[in-house]
């Protein structure tokens, strides 16, 4: 059979139907493989059927155009189909499909052709570019195979293959590639040892970092400061809610109820309304006080500026200092871990004091609001029962 037809067929298939993710088993590698077959055939004195060997070599990578995992079966099927159309003898086709499978397995080759194909398929084991080539193969596994092995793991797998499951059979391969294969094994061992040392160092580093009290201390301060700020936000939100509710209540009173009070028949509503308004305004004022920001510390004097117990992390304690003075103070804080932690502790403590005042005032605000609502309802009920008529009250509180 004309080998040129096989070459043209395989070249067309690999050029047009092979996924771009195949960085290793591609047309260039197929041509290198066939080139090595020709080199061995030209120098090996043993009688090896050239035609069947070359055809099988061309078909070795053909199955990758169909599927990555089952490429051997697809190579056999595509080769069988093509050779049958070319009226190639059935017994020769069977031999070629057997050679395709034997080139990929780890069993002892059953023929000279199988030995040759095994050698050329694994010729890169004895290549000076072996490390780069297996990295291309790893990239192909990631792109097409759906796996993501690390470089160190992938090299370890090849180290086992080279040490246990591989050998060159032909004289040419043994003489030309075996020495470089040994060098590649040594290179893999070195990289494996280096990778294990690096991995061990990284694990130790992570372990020491996790066991370090510094990490726990920093997490403690970070968590507590964040919690304090969240609590402050919650308090401000609660105060704003109460402020909005009271504003709505007062606006309704001003627009609907209070204009009715100048009528003599509605005079009995004055006291309940006054109670309602007073408590609403009081809770509004207290809500504003709870959210009112504190800009400066009026209790701080010049002597306190040099005191180590002064919280310089609060802007109200340093905003009136000169830049140089502030730099000196900050350098004093960051001079050691102890002073940094002391400053963070003071900041946490004073934030707690601010929260205490804010939540106490907010608690009293809600208490005043509740008491005001209850007293107002009672006052309106008493006014309704003893001083007014139901229909007049309804008319009074209903908008015109």
Q: Domain-by-domain residue ranges, the chain?
A: 3-210, 214-397
Contact indicator for 122, 175 with CB cutoff of 8 Å: no
When the candidates are 1.10.3210, 3.40.50, 3.30.1490, 2.40.128, the CATH number that belongs to 3-210 is: 1.10.3210
Residue 300 has pLDDT above 60, yes or no: no
User: Which of 160, 58, 65 lies closest to 117, judged by CA?
Assistant: 58
Residue 304 has pLDDT above 90, yes or no: no
Spatial CB neighbours of 330, under 8 Å, sequence gap ≥ 6? 312
pLDDT score recorded for residue 325: 72
79-88, 94-103, 275-284: the lowest-pLDDT one: 275-284
30-44, 138-152, 246-260: the lowest-pLDDT one: 246-260
Measured CA to CA, the distance from residue 385 to residue 185 in angstroms comes to: 103
pLDDT score recorded for residue 9: 93
Q: Span 216-233, mean pLDDT?
A: 81
pTM for this prediction: 0.53
Q: What is the pLDDT of residues 199-210, one digit of tens each?
A: 677 776 666 565
pLDDT score recorded for residue 206: 65
DSSP annotation of 292 reads: P
More confident residue, 400 or 11: 11
pLDDT score recorded for residue 393: 45
pLDDT score recorded for residue 308: 60
Q: What would the two tokens of residue 190 be?
A: 């070195």
pLDDT score recorded for residue 121: 93
50-54, 77-81, 194-198, 222-226: the lowest-pLDDT one: 194-198
pLDDT score recorded for residue 391: 47
User: Which of 310, 324, 321, 315 lies closest to 296, judged by CA?
Assistant: 315
Residue 260 has pLDDT above 50, yes or no: yes
User: Which of 59, 52, 56 lies closest to 11, judged by CA?
Assistant: 59
Measured CA to CA, the distance from residue 326 to residue 381 in angstroms comes to: 62
Q: Span 78-84, mean pLDDT?
A: 92
Contact indicator for 267, 261 with CB cutoff of 8 Å: yes
Measured CA to CA, the distance from residue 150 to residue 168 in angstroms comes to: 27
Q: Where residue 234 falls among pLDDT bands split at 50, 70, 90?
A: confident
Contact indicator for 147, 199 with CB cutoff of 8 Å: no
To the nearest 10 degrees (0 to 180), the angle between helices 71-85 and 50-59 is: 130
Q: Where residue 25 falls among pLDDT bands split at 50, 70, 90?
A: very high
Residue linked to tokens 């007293």: 375
Residue 32 has pLDDT above 90, yes or no: yes
Residues 153-174: b if buried by 16+ CB within 10 A, e if exposed = ebbbebbeebeeeeebbbebbe
More confident residue, 295 or 93: 93
Q: Span 190-218, mean pLDDT?
A: 71
Residue 257's φ and ψ, nearest 5 degrees, are -95, -50
More confident residue, 91 or 380: 91
Residue 146 has pLDDT above 80, yes or no: no
- Region for 116 from its dihedrals, namely left if φ exceeds 0, alpha if ψ lies in -120 to 50, beta otherwise: alpha
Q: What is the pLDDT of residues 318-327, one digit of tens each?
A: 666 677 777 7
């Amino acid at each position: 059979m004309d080998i040129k037809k096989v070459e043209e067929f395989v070249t067309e298939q690999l050029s047009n139907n092979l996924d771009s993710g195949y960085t290793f088993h591609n047309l260039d590698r197929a041509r290198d493989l066939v080139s090595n077959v020709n080199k061995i055939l030209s120098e090996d004195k043993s009688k090896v059927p050239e035609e069947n060997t070359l055809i099988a070599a061309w078909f070795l990578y053909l199955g990758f155009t169909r599927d990555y995992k089952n490429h051997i079966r697809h190579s056999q099927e595509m080769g069988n189909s093509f050779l049958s159309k070319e009226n190639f003898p059935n017994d020769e086709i069977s031999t070629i499909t057997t050679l395709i499978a034997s080139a990929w397995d780890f069993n002892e080759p059953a023929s000279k052709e199988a030995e040759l194909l095994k050698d050329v398929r694994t010729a890169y084991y004895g290549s000076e570019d072996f490390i780069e080539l297996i990295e291309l193969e790893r990239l192909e596994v990631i792109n097409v195979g759906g796996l993501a092995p690390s470089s160190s793991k992938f090299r370890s797998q090849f180290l086992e293959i080279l040490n246990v499951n591989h050998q060159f059979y032909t004289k040419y391969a043994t003489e030309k590639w075996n020495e470089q294969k040994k060098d590649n094994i040594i290179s893999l061992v070195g990289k494996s040892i280096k990778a294990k040392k690096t991995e061990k160092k990284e694990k130790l580093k992570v372990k020491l970092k996790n066991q370090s009290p510094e990490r726990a201390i920093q997490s403690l301060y970070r968590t507590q400061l964040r919690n304090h700020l969240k609590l402050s936000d919650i308090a401000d939100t609660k105060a704003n809610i109460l402020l909005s509710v009271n504003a709505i209540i007062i606006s309704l009173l001003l627009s609907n109820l209070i204009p009715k009070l100048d009528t003599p028949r509605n005079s009995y509503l004055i006291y309940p309304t006054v109670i309602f308004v007073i408590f609403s305004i009081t809770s509004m004022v207290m809500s504003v006080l709870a959210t009112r920001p504190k800009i400066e510390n009026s209790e701080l004097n010049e002597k306190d500026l040099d005191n180590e117990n002064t919280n310089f992390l609060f802007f109200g304690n340093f905003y009136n200092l000169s830049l140089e003075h502030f730099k000196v103070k900050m350098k004093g804080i960051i001079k050691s871990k102890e002073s940094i932690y002391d400053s963070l502790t003071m900041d946490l403590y004073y934030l707690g004091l601010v929260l205490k005042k804010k939540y106490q005032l907010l608690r009293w605000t809600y208490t005043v609001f509740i008491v005001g609502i209850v007293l107002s309802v009672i006052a309106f009920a008493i006014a309704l029962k003893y001083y007014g008529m139901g229909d007049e009250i309804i008319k009074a509180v209903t908008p015109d």
